[in-house]
Copies of this chain bind each other. A is one copy, B any other.
Amino acid sequence: MNACEQSLATAPERTATARPQNAQLPELPPEALAHAKRSDRWLLSHLFGLLGSPPVQFAVKDGACVGDVAGAVARVTFASRATLLWLLADPWLRFGDAYSDGSVVIDGDLVTLLEAIYHASRGGGRRPSLLRRALGVLHRPRANSLSGSRDNIHHHYDLGNEFYALWLGSTMAYTCAYYPTPEASLDQAQIAKMDHVCRKLRLQPGESVVEAGCGWGTLALHMAQHYGVRVRAFNISREQVAFARARAQREGLGSQVEYVLDDYRNMSGRYDAFVSVGMLEHVGVKNYPALGGVAQRCLGEQGRGLIHSIGRNFPAPLQPWIERRIFPGAYPPSLGQMAGIFEPWDLSVLDVENLRLHYALTLRHWLGLYDLASERVRTMFDERFVRMWRLYLAGSVAAFTTGTLQLFQVLFAPGVSNDVPWTRAHLYNR
């Protein structure tokens, strides 16, 4: 039992039967053990300080413990000193790996733990520290060339449609929902999000829409079915496009919606609206002018565009473990960086809405469904995968509730167009 175990409020988790991949140190004589405990304590304190002294206890199994403050929300126990040493070399990357393989276990709620760590380590109202900037260099996202994007997208989105169907709800929309009230269900909120987007774009029957990054095709179908538009929807995930095409056929919308297995950079033609929900995260900042150029080319001097993306309050890389293990090549931009899409092309930003707390709620719903399906996920993959994706979803909840991540919906139009909405009342008065 740990020195500080008693002081922690009772709490769940500690799911993993710890099967650490890192070797245990051999048993030690009493003097050496005391010395080892002192050095463990020193290492734990170093980690504790590095994370901004969160209200969390850190312990080595059957060994030292730090952070036994009153009101600790959770305890993180390392299976061995070896795990702790290994983790300290790059905690932002390796914590995720250690959690996944069970060589750290959590007493307490995982989301609450991660919220506490995010909150303590972000340093609200201060300029990004040297350390954070150094991490930015260390953890550069992978490139998003045409072939790089294909590999990156394949890694995440081609895990099998059946897997995603377990926890995305019936809409299969894998982006932030819009909850008219916090009590709305996940499916209601996903439908409300699509309507919110369509109303911002003021879609009219007979108009044409081009979509960059269409996921499983949900938004394209919704626009066609409920707003009477024709849609060309681009995606480079083979599995998603196959799913979307089958769905369009099934719903009798095959003639109105065309799914194109191709990169957004290869879009051609002229459209009334350009829309991209949840693709920008995979574009890469240096490709933003190219993306804006595509939007400008698709719209000409008229029309409307909307880009919906995870973002940041200031430039910083994605959490490195997420970028490495879950979303290769992903990067959530700041609004200043997003300006790189619009400014080179005289695209006029009409409306920006930050839906950060809606994404936290969406992710809570996904996490709930995911946990219910964890047995099924274990049979599809393995225990490591179950824990990895649990950490990803829980960490994402925490990132949005603590304001580490934002969700921006940006409505824009060609700079020369006066076909812009007079006010935004039409979005709310129906």
Q: Does A253 contact B (CB under 8 A)?
A: no
The answer to whether B425 and A347 touch across the interface, beta carbons within 8 angstroms, is no
Q: How far is the CA of A182 from the CA of B418 in the complex (A)?
A: 14
Contact among B313, B315, B342, B429 with A428 in the assembled complex (CB-CB below 8 Å): B429
Contact across chains for B354 and A351 when beta carbons are under 8 A apart: yes
B353 A424 Cβ-Cβ under 8 A: yes
Residues of B within 8 Å of A350, CB to CB, are: 353-354
Which residues of chain B are within 8 angstroms of A315 by Cβ–Cβ distance? Answer: 343
B-facing mask of A21-34, CB < 8 A → 1, else 0? 00000000000000
A19: B residues at CB distance < 8 A: none
A344-369 near B? 1/0 per residue, CB < 8 Å: 11111111111011000000000000
Chain B residues whose CB sits within 8 angstroms of the CB of A178 once the complex forms: 423
- A373 and B179 CA atoms in complex are apart in Å by 52
Q: How large is the interface on A (under 10, 10 to 19, 20 to 34, 35 or more residues)?
A: 35 or more
Measured CB to CB, the closest approach of chain B to A298, in angstroms, equals 12
In the assembled complex, the Cα of A408 lies from the Cα of B351 at a distance in Å of 9
Is A72 on the interface with B (CB-CB < 8 A)? no
Q: Is A267 an interface residue (CB 8 A)?
A: no
A124 to chain B, nearest CB (A): 4
Determine the chain B residues whose CB is within 8 A of the CB of A429 once the complex forms: 428-429
Q: Is A230 an interface residue (CB 8 A)?
A: no
Interface assignment of A296: CB less than 8 Å from any CB of chain B: yes
Interface string of A375-411 (1 = CB under 8 A from B): 0000000000000000000000000011100101000
Task: Report whether B125 and A296 are in contact in the complex, using a CB–CB cutoff of 8 Å.
Answer: yes
Q: Is the CB–CB distance between B416 and A124 below 8 Å?
A: yes
Distance between A121 CB and nearest chain B CB, rounded to angstroms: 12
In angstroms, Cα B349 to Cα A408, docked, is: 9
Set B125, B180, B346: member contacting A301, Cβ < 8 A = B125
Contact B125 A346 (CB under 8 A): yes
How close is A59's CB to chain B, nearest CB, in angstroms?
A: 28
Min C-beta distance of A27 to chain B, whole Å: 45
By the criterion CB–CB under 8 Å, are B125 and A345 in contact?
yes
**Residue interface mask A170-196, B partner, CB < 8 A = 1:** 000000001111100000000000000
Nearest-Cβ distance from residue A289 to partner chain B, whole angstroms? 9
Q: Quick check: is A415 within 8 A (CB to CB) of the other chain?
A: yes
Query: A278 within 8 Å of B by Cβ?
Result: no
Q: Is A250 an interface residue (CB 8 A)?
A: no
Stretch at the interface among A4-12, A233-241, A331-339: A331-339
Question: In the complex, what distance in Å separates the CA atom of A348 from the CA atom of B402?
Answer: 12
CB-based contact A347/B313 at 8 Å:
yes
CA of A425 to CA of B180, assembled, Å: 9
Asked if A317 is at the interface (CB within 8 A of a chain B CB), the reply is no
Q: Mark A279-310, 1 if CB is under 8 A from B, else 0.
A: 00000000000000000100011000000000
Query: Is the Cβ of A418 less than 8 Å from the Cβ of B348?
Result: no
Residues of A414-430 whose CB lies within 8 A of B? 414-418, 420, 422-425, 427-429
B343 and A349 contacting across the interface, CB-CB below 8 Å: no
Closest-by-CB residue of B relative to A181 is: B422
A-B contacts besides A125-B414, A126-B345, A339-B339, 16 pairs, CB < 8 Å: A124-B301, A125-B296, A126-B346, A127-B345, A182-B422, A313-B346, A313-B415, A334-B339, A348-B356, A349-B352, A349-B406, A351-B353, A353-B424, A401-B418, A403-B418, A427-B428
**Please, could you name 13 A-B residue pairs with CB atoms under 8 Å apart, sorted by A?**
A122-B416, A124-B414, A126-B345, A180-B423, A313-B343, A313-B347, A335-B335, A335-B343, A336-B339, A348-B403, A350-B354, A351-B352, A357-B422
